[in-house]
């Protein structure tokens, strides 16, 4: 699998990442082992997890599979911290909480360091400089090799990345990445986040690159009984992408797939993988068979005319001040 630099850093990652959101919850140890081995044998390196996935179960399961199944040195392990199970406060990005969470993640993963440590979301109750100081401590202490953020809007990302760059000579570590939802059904990052990331040299790691599964076409005629859309827990997650506007995009992807003798999954994933600024979309799968289908995108590059057609049919509405208003 092709390797790409993560932002303006020396860290290289596979251009498709493996997500572990369901590990330890819906994905048991046998399916997780099959996925990890399949991913590694295909040349994949980037494994994305978080301390809240299955209440730490995803990290623990990944840690159990390291070394016995796949050499630790062959993987780029990314995890996140900052989300908390508190109904009154969804995020705690205080220095104390973050560093304690990192130590707990390392213990579950059974490793001395993570390759990429990410702040899970912006915490409005903690000064940003305090949050960023935790990132610097993680790197200088050797517990993290690179750092990034997740779910930061445009101004939040720009402020964080600029703060880090401004202190590059006094022990601050530049941001390597930002993880955001990005797909043909969700192009909101193109408004401010992606331009900021490109300008500041921050690599984009798209999550839900298949539009929460909708872009595979599985929901075109009905909701499969074994799908997220049929799950009481995850149906609200899928439902926003089952409207008429999304249906037009899904149909266009299916048409493109037919013309290329490919699958809708491959077309949708290839589109986001090759967008400017994207380092590696993060894909999740229930089993190794689903993962193999996603990894088959490595052989596909969309022709320019199909890419432009998909750009047009999925184009978000961006008006003032994003478009050139000087001629209005």
8 A C-beta contact, residue 257 and residue 267: yes
The rounded distance, in Å, linking the Cα atoms of 152 and 178 is 8
Q: How many CA atoms lie within 13 A of 292 on its CB side?
A: 8
Name the β-bridge partners of 144: 114
Q: How many CA atoms lie within 13 A of 24 on its CB side?
A: 21
Instruction: Specify whether the backbone of 32 is left (phi greater than 0), alpha (psi in -120 to 50) or beta.
Output: alpha
The rounded distance, in Å, linking the Cα atoms of 119 and 192 is 19
Please say if 53 is a catalytic residue.
yes
Segment holding 46, helix H or strand E: strand 46-48
8 A C-beta contact, residue 317 and residue 242: no
49 CB-contact burial (10 Å; exposed 0-12 / middle 13-18 / buried 19+): buried
Strands (E) across 136-288 are located at 144-150, 175-181, 203-207, 282-283
Q: Which of 53, 146, 182, 241 is catalytic?
A: 53
| Active site residues per annotation | 53
């Amino acid at each position: 699998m092709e390797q790409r630099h993560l932002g303006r850093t020396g860290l290289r990652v596979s251009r498709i990442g493996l997500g572990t959101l369901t590990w330890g919850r819906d994905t048991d140890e046998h399916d997780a082992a099959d996925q990890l081995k399949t991913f590694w044998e295909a040349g994949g390196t980037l494994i994305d997890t978080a301390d809240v996935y299955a209440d730490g179960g995803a990290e623990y399961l990944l840690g159990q599979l390291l070394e016995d199944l796949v050499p630790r040195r062959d993987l780029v392990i990314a995890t996140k911290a900052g989300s908390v199970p508190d109904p009154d406060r969804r995020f705690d990005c205080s220095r104390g909480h973050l560093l304690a969470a990192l130590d707990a993640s390392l213990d579950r993963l059974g490793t001395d360091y993570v390759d990429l440590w990410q702040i899970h979301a912006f915490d409005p109750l903690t000064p940003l400089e305090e949050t960023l100081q935790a990132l610097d401590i993680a790197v200088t202490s050797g517990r993290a090799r690179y750092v990034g953020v997740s779910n930061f809007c445009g101004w939040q990302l720009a402020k964080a990345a600029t703060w880090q760059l401004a202190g590059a000579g006094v022990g601050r570590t530049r941001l390597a990445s930002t993880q955001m939802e990005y797909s043909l059904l969700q192009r909101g990052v193109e408004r401010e986040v992606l331009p900021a990331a490109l300008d500041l040299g921050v690599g984009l790691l798209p999550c839900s690159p298949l539009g929460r599964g909708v872009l595979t076409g599985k929901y075109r005629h009905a909701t499969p009984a074994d799908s997220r859309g049929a799950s009481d827990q995850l149906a609200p997650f899928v439902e926003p992408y089952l409207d008429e506007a999304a249906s037009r995009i899904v149909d266009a992807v299916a048409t493109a797939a037919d013309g290329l003798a490919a699958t809708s999954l491959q077309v949708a994933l290839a589109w986001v993988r090759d967008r400017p600024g994207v380092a590696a979309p993060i894909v999740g799968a229930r089993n190794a068979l689903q993962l193999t289908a996603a990894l088959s995108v490595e052989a596909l590059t969309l022709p320019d005319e199909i890419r432009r057609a998909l750009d047009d049919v999925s184009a978000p509405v961006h008006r003032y001040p994003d478009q050139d208003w000087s001629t209005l």
